[in-house]
Amino acid sequence: MSAQAVKMKKKSSWSVASVIGLLFLLLFTVICIAPFVYMVIMSFTQSTTLMITMKEVHFTDFTNFKYVFGNSGFFRSLMNSLIVVGCSCFFNCVIASMAAYGFEKKQFPGKEALFKVYIATQMIPGQVTMIPVFIIMKKMGMLNTYFALIVLIINAFGVFLIRQFMESVPDELLEAAKVDGCPEYKIFLQIVIPLIKPVLISLVVFTFVTSWNDFLWPLVSTTDSDMYTLTVALSLLKTQYQTNYGLVLAGATVSFMFPFVLYVFLQRQFVEGIALSGIKG
């Protein structure tokens, strides 16, 4: 046993209580993952009852997935979600980093008061603004548009997140560029943006998940089935094919895969995004 291992052993003694704790932790871990494993397994079955054995699971049989993708409505919803999420991420990054730069690196009267208003708006639940926004969109004829779906995703959170990060961008650097005669828009695009890349990735991850998983607003603002997002389509799949469990879970699997793959690759950014949003208090 190496010296380090001895030290480790001394440091953490495994009492009966710890073992029980570990078992609880293991149990909870299993409960966290099991429903998703079940979802994927079930999506490979053709059955109208849930009483199935593993013999009825055929991992080479993609019938449910073919049906889900062949079902033009569902495929269209998938595309809608991708478009909405893509645009949300892009515009949120652009608008929020511009605002954060304005707040952090420019001086103008009333700046901090305005920033406080921005932060206060984060507290307001979406359900409170939803009804007037619905009415505004209806009057403008903007219901059932990508604009309506995208615009509500953009809020003060991104501004707050990026501003915190932008403190670390040295003022001297921007000053030096200005002295060298670098035009203002170039300072922003070519100096500031590359420096805040890490926080932009966190914001993209955050926006992706928020937008992809958004349900109530798409449910309310889309009445035309061509404009449904994936969450709305999935909720309808569930009512249309009540007992075709394999099919419904194939739909759920598809909708889960996108954020899941992103999570697998950008795990650190997910966690950091949360840690950052957590410190906002």
Partner 1 sequence: MTRKKKEALQGIIYILPSLILILSFCIIPIIMSGYFSFTSYNIMTPPKFIGLENYAKVFKDSYVVDAAKNTLKYVVITVPIQTFLSLTFAAFLAYKMQNKAGGAMRSIMFIPVIASAVTAGTIWRIILNTDGGLLNNILGVLHIGPVNWLGSTSTALISICIVAIWKNVGYFLVIYYAGIMGIPKDLYEAARVDGATTLQQFFRITLPMLKPITYLVVTLGLIWSFQVFDLSYLMTGGGPGRATVTLVMGIYNAAFKQYKMGYACAMAMLLLVIVIVINAVENLFFKEKKEAR
Which residues, numbered 54-93, are part of the site for partner 1 (CB under 8 A)? Answer: none
> How near is the Cβ of 80 to partner 1 at its closest, in Å?
14
Please report whether residue 4 would count as binding partner 1 according to CB under 8 A: no
Q: Which is nearer to partner 1, 141 or 278 (CB)?
A: 278
Question: What residues numbered 115-144 form the site for partner 1, per CB under 8 A?
Answer: 117-118, 121, 123-136, 138
> How near is the Cβ of 272 to partner 1 at its closest, in Å?
9
> How near is the Cβ of 264 to partner 1 at its closest, in Å?
9
Please report whether residue 25 would count as binding partner 1 according to CB under 8 A: yes
CA distance 261 to 220: 28
Please report whether residue 198 would count as binding partner 1 according to CB under 8 A: no
Please report whether residue 103 would count as binding partner 1 according to CB under 8 A: yes
Stretch that binds partner 1, among 53-61, 65-73, 109-117, 169-177 (CB under 8 A): 109-117
Q: Which is nearer to partner 1, 18 or 72 (CB)?
A: 18
Question: What residues numbered 213-242 form the site for partner 1, per CB under 8 A?
Answer: 213, 215-216, 220, 231, 234-235, 238
Q: Of residues 156, 204, 227, 247, which one binds partner 1 by CB under 8 A?
A: 156
CB within 8 Å of 109: residues ≥ 6 apart:
none
Please report whether residue 96 would count as binding partner 1 according to CB under 8 A: yes
Please report whether residue 248 would count as binding partner 1 according to CB under 8 A: yes
Q: How many residues bind partner 1 (CB under 8 A)?
A: 88
Please report whether residue 162 would count as binding partner 1 according to CB under 8 A: no
CA distance 264 to 270: 10
Q: Of residues 45, 161, 249, 269, which one binds partner 1 by CB under 8 A?
A: 249
Q: Which is nearer to partner 1, 154 or 196 (CB)?
A: 154
